[in-house]
Amino acid sequence: MPALLLAAAASGVLYGLAFPVVHLQFLGWIALVPFLVAVRRAPTLLIALVLGWVWMVVMGYTVADWLVGGIARYFAQPTVVGVGIFFYVATFMAGIHYMAFAACYRALGGLPRAAVPLLAAAAWVAAEFARANLLTGNPWALLGYSQIGILPLMQIADVTGVYGIGFVLAAVNAALAELWLARDSGAARRGALRGLLLAGAVAVLVLGYGVARLDTDGLVSDARPVKVGLVQGNLDIGQQWRQEFYGRNLDAYLRLTYRLLVSNPPAVVFWPENALTFLLADEPLYRAAIGRVLSIGGAELVTGGPRTSSEDPTIYHSSVFLLSPAGAIRATYDKQKLLVFGEYFPLSGIDLLRRHFARVHQFTPGAPARPLPTAAGLAGVTICNEAMFPEIAAARVREGATYLVDPANDTWLTPKFSAQQFDIVTLRSVEQRRYLVRASTAGPSAIVDPLGRVVLRSEFFTQTALAGEIRPSTIVTPYNRVGDLFAWSCVVAAGAGWLASWRRRRAPTASVAREAA
């Protein structure tokens, strides 16, 4: 038992090291092997379930060691509160799914070895798909995201989303595990080698598809390029909004914007989520100040800030505004998928979870809205954590967005968090074949092209203003049309594999019973 626990824990560490900031991406192809071997060697189902939970906790901390301290700072609470929330997330928002995977994978061991790697990969995708969509959804550090930056491997996302990448990696891991488990038996080893060949063939097909897509004309639009500007203030508004922060930081954002506008002005300037620390519609003097700067270059502004939509009772939204060069509000988008505990409170009776944003106590999800009609095209907005969910970006494109915008707030956490978040967001550009503009409070702010190439990027925790070009696009990808059909297919395949294994185990028992009768 201790050896099995150690193997699961070691696997969790290796998996975590495949992600930023260490980012040893090759580990994504082998990190699961010790865990898979341990699960198959587990003498009982209960022990296999425990191994799944241990793997998740260790992996979760290796990937997200920033979570404990970040939560404690954010809510101004002792570290023990951060530890408690970490174990809640690791167990109920992720651990139960990997425990289910462990049970399924253990059962798949009863099937022919050649079939196990692909069925195990399907089960892995099913577990990740459940984790990303059940309850509030937790898509952090899905296996496929460990390979962001490897362009040929990323291109399959325009058909399968991140799950296609994860399937390939999980299949190779499972094939290597089968080979290890069968090392002492010639017949079993031959079956395991066939499984490895199948997994390798899938990897070659996916990489070949990626190479072909990278060489395909038309994925990057040939429309007229539009110059845009990104302003990264790297300014703290405190862990909680308070009255003394009302209006703070506007002068700094205006000063950085002025630098962009005085020489070769962009058509649209983007500020991050929470750049505005005041209610824009209620402050004509602030809007006039913004307009005086924008009018220098005739640029529009897209910026994040709070908004009210009702007075009795007061309803607050986390919003993005489109402002004209004169400072007039042309359009708004209200965030629709809020950050649990950070922006809404499922346990609002517990005072330590309350977030006092001056007059803003908690946000309300916004209603569906059209893309922002900017000078660069129709902007599909996903605010910060919304960009983690591919279905939201897909919805924006179906609504007519010709490029994607992600205003984000990274100031309160670490570069490790920001780098991991940026990798997740980057894949949205490939899935939808759209330019992605990301304006972050503390970085990275960036422009990503429809092939997933980062064409412009800021450094972490710097104050800067950058300019680059984007091209609007109207391409509709297979992934946009069919959504997570591939992931659902994996759910079905994993279920069929488990059922086949169950019937295979029952067959000898039924035969013995018939003979006894």
Statement to judge: residues 472 and 323 lie in one domain: yes
Q: Could you check whether the bond before residue 437 is cis, i.e. omega within 30 degrees of 0?
A: no
Q: Whole-angstrom Cα distance, residue 99 to residue 110?
A: 18
CATH number of the structural domain spanning residue 451: 3.60.110.10
pTM (predicted TM-score): 0.93
CA angle 352, 364, 384 (to 5 degrees): 85
Q: What is the pLDDT of residue 377?
A: 98
The pLDDT of residue 373 is 98
pLDDT at res. 75: 67
Question: Same domain for 353 and 258?
Answer: yes
Q: Kindly state the tokens that stand for 202.
A: 């899938």
Q: Is residue 491 part of a domain?
A: no
Nearest residue to 141 (alpha-carbon basis) of 56, 203, 68: 56
CA dist 436 and 392 (Å) reads: 14
Q: Are residues 186 and 310 in the same domain?
A: no
- Spatial contact of 505 and 110, defined as CB atoms under 8 Å apart: yes
Structure tokens at 69: 């301290």
Low-confidence residues of the chain: pLDDT under 50:
239-240, 355-360, 511-517
For residue 485, is it within any domain?
no
152 and 235 in a single domain? The answer is no
Rounded to an integer, what distance in angstroms lies between the CA atom of residue 304 and that of residue 272?
Answer: 6
**Which residue numbers are catalytic?**
273, 335, 384
Give, for 270, the enclosing helix (H) or strand (E).
strand 268-270
Q: Could you tell me if 47 and 94 lie in one domain?
A: yes
Q: Which residues contact 376 (CB under 8 A, 6 or more apart)?
A: 226, 228, 267, 268, 403, 470, 472
| Distance from C-alpha of 389 to C-alpha of 446, rounded to nearest angstrom | 19
Query: Are 246 and 289 in a shared domain?
Result: yes
Give yes or no: residues 210 and 251 share one domain: no
Q: Is residue 494 part of a domain?
A: no
Residue 315: what are its φ and ψ, rounded to 5°?
A: -115, 130
Query: Is 8 part of a structural domain of the chain?
Result: yes
Do 203 and 247 fall into the same domain? Answer: no
Do residues 437 and 307 both lie within one domain?
Answer: yes
Asked if the structure places residue 497 within a domain, the reply is: no
Calpha distance 264→505 (Å, rounded): 71
232/211 same-domain check: no
Q: Which structural domain range is residue 512 located in?
A: 2-216+502-516
Number of domains within the chain: 2
Residue type, 364: T
Q: What is the pLDDT of residue 504?
A: 87
**DSSP 8-class letter at 327:** S
Q: What own/partner pairs with CB < 8 Å and gap ≥ 24 does 392-396 have?
A: 392/336, 392/337, 393/428, 393/431, 393/432, 393/434, 394/431, 394/432, 394/479, 394/480, 394/483, 396/371
Same domain, 170 and 278: no
Name the residue among 347, 294, 345 with its Cα closest to residue 316.
345
